[in-house]
Amino acid sequence: MAEEHLPSNLERLERALADAGSRGGPSPGLRARALAAAARELAAGRRRAGWSFAGWAAAAALAWLNLSLAATGGGELPNPLPFRPPAWAQTAADLRRALPELTKDQAEAYALLMAGATSLRPCLQAAARPGSASGPP
């Protein structure tokens, strides 16, 4: 194959690369620099591992706190749609108009029950295992 003539800057680069390859190995300080860089990276990795553990521990504590508050019902969550029941006297009057057979006392009692029930929280009732003596009525 015929020799191609390269521009002078590429010829200099080619000679420099050929000379570097003929030396037979890396420069004498390369091993020490590589070992020092590796030691620095290992030390930095150990420092990062400590912060990683702290992050995982904080996440686990927050998850536990969230689940325990949800399970016990502790902590009031804001209701996105607040419901304000009408005054119980108005409810009693509405009940008497809708159900004329109710007495005034019965209508007031039902109105008070309805007003009190609006502030109750729904709660799931745990079902008993089949064959156990206790269970929902």
**pTM for this structure?**
0.29
Share of the chain above pLDDT 70, in %: 64
Report which of 87, 93, 90 is spatially closest to residue 118, judged by C-alpha positions. Answer: 87
Report which of 94, 113, 117 is spatially closest to residue 104, judged by C-alpha positions. Answer: 94
Percentage helix, strand, coil for the chain under 3-state DSSP, each rounded to 5: 60, 0, 40
Report which of 83, 97, 92, 94 is spatially closest to residue 110, judged by C-alpha positions. Answer: 92
Tokens linked to 11: 């010829």
Q: Which carries the bigger pLDDT value, residue 107 or residue 8?
A: 107
* pLDDT tens digits for range 74-112: 656 565 556 665 677 888 999 999 999 999 999 989 988
* pLDDT tens digits for range 119-131: 666 655 555 556 5
